[in-house]
Amino acid sequence: MTQPILEVNDLKTHFPIRQGLFRRQTGTVLAVDGVTLYVDPHETLGVVGESGCGKTTLGRSILRLIEPTAGTVTYRGESVTGADKDRMRQLRKEMQIVFQDPYASLNPRMPVRDIIAEPLRIHGMDRKEANDRVGALLGKVGMMADHGNRYPHEFSGGQRQRIGIARALVLDPSLIILDEPVSALDVSIQAQVINLLEEIQDEFGLSFVFIAHDLSVVRHISDRVAVMYLGQVVELADRNQLYETPAHPYTSSLLSAVPVADPNAERERKRILLEGDLPSPANPPSGCRFHTRCPIAQDVCRVDPPELREVSAGHWAACHFPTGPGDSLINQVQRLGRDLRLVEAREH
Ligand code: SF4
């Protein structure tokens, strides 16, 4: 059995809410609340969910860019959460991040060469060697060596994301957290950046945590996918298992919004509309956090939080009434004699 490159165990990141003149704590946002997962070497784990579900906080907590409140993160068997400052600096060479908005994350006053070379210089590499490495990396991400002399504002969004990827690669990491890396890009550019990510993953033997809200993109690039709702993982499976036989009602509703390739099926496709808004992570519902919006919720769901358990080999779901193969959320709703808001997918 291979050792995972990354293991996250019961990770929690809570933020105090402070109000008033004396900044008294009036509540706590449970942004990440008990996440357990792993990533194997050379694997891509997709993490999906609505905005506000905690996926970005999870990515940053893994790298301790935000300090977790509890739980552990382990990289190649070594504790990240227990590492001191010096060791953490070393570990950050191995674990990098690419942000959604490359413009905001690139210093506008520095030429691209210096932006990419900065981590090398911090780690003591001389200028000539650093410049050579940056020139080679720019080539790897589909840019020209002389682009290094220009400033971030001189590039398109897609090019800036390539620069962000080059910067993430410069210290030769093994794991990269990609936080919505293509969400801000046009669809045609998204495909180019995804192809680039797949190429560099093969060439450098990288592992990815790919955080996104676009389920089509996640299916394309991921080996396994974790679905998050209100700070928790509610389903985790191999991508084909998850997309073809979702077990959790929340996953089913998310997937109903994804276009399918078969034109006949696409014409028939109905989108499941959930009732209500995403509850506040400062005041999550009791029992199953999804019960206020779940079309098949029952009494037990309001009081008893479901554990993430294996519903079939390698397929985990946190639901008291998971859907099995050959069944669907719509069938379950009909059996219960409930209503479900279905709309023509093309209207949305
Ligand atoms: Fe719905 Fe109950 Fe499953 Fe939660 S546990 S997703 S409320 S059926």
How large is the average pLDDT for residues 327-344? 85
Atom from ligand 1 closest to the CA of residue 294 = 1
**Which of 253, 275, 292, 298, when mutated, tests ligand 1's pocket best, judged by the most ligand atoms within 8 Å of its CB?**
298
Mean pLDDT of the chain: 93
Q: How far apart are CA 223 and CA 43, in angstroms?
A: 6
pLDDT value of position 190: 93
* DSSP label at residue 11: E
Q: Please tell me the residue having the least CA distance from ligand 1 atom 8.
A: 297
C-alpha distance across the termini of the chain, in Å: 45
Say if ligand 1 is within 6 A of residue 316 CB. Answer: no
Closest by CA position to 44, among listed 214, 220, 244: 220
Atom from ligand 1 closest to the CA of residue 298 = 2
pLDDT value of position 269: 81
Say if ligand 1 is within 6 A of residue 291 CB. Answer: yes
What confidence category does residue 277 fall into, taking pLDDT thresholds of 50, 70 and 90?
Answer: confident
Atom from ligand 1 closest to the CA of residue 295 = 1
The answer to whether residue 180 scores a pLDDT higher than 80 is yes
The answer to whether residue 345 scores a pLDDT higher than 80 is no
What confidence category does residue 12 fall into, taking pLDDT thresholds of 50, 70 and 90?
Answer: very high
Tell if the pTM clears 0.75, that is, is over it: yes
Q: Please tell me the residue having the least CA distance from ligand 1 atom 3.
A: 319
pLDDT tens digits, residue range 20-78?
888 888 999 999 999 999 999 999 999 999 988 999 999 999 999 999 999 999 999 99
pLDDT value of position 47: 98
**Which of 274, 321, 333, when mutated, tests ligand 1's pocket best, judged by the most ligand atoms within 8 Å of its CB?**
321
Atom from ligand 1 closest to the CA of residue 248 = 6
Question: Ligand 1 centroid to 186 CA: how many Å?
Answer: 36
Residue percentage of the chain with pLDDT more than 90: 76
Q: Which residues pair with 73 in a beta bridge?
A: 8
Question: Ligand 1 centroid to 37 CA: how many Å?
Answer: 21
- Kindly list the distances between the CA atom of residue 24 and the CA atoms of 27, 69, 257, 322, in Å, as whole numbers in the listed order: 9, 19, 42, 41
Question: Ligand 1 centroid to 298 CA: how many Å?
Answer: 7
Question: Ligand 1 centroid to 309 CA: how many Å?
Answer: 13
Say if ligand 1 is within 6 A of residue 246 CB. Answer: no
**Which of 233, 234, 296, when mutated, tests ligand 1's pocket best, judged by the most ligand atoms within 8 Å of its CB?**
296
What confidence category does residue 347 fall into, taking pLDDT thresholds of 50, 70 and 90?
Answer: low
Atom from ligand 1 closest to the CA of residue 249 = 6
What confidence category does residue 163 fall into, taking pLDDT thresholds of 50, 70 and 90?
Answer: very high
Q: Between these two residues, 78 and 188, which has the higher pLDDT value? A: 78
Q: How far apart are CA 325 and CA 322, in angstroms?
A: 10
pLDDT value of position 21: 84
- Phi/psi for 63 (5° steps) reads -90, 0
Question: Ligand 1 centroid to 183 CA: how many Å?
Answer: 30
- Phi/psi for 191 (5° steps) reads -60, -40
For the chain, give me the number of helices (H) and strands (E)? 13, 14
Say if ligand 1 is within 6 A of residue 247 CB. Answer: no
pLDDT tens digits, residue range 216-236?
999 999 999 999 999 999 999
pLDDT value of position 109: 93
Question: Ligand 1 centroid to 345 CA: how many Å?
Answer: 24
Closest by CA position to 316, among listed 231, 225, 181: 225
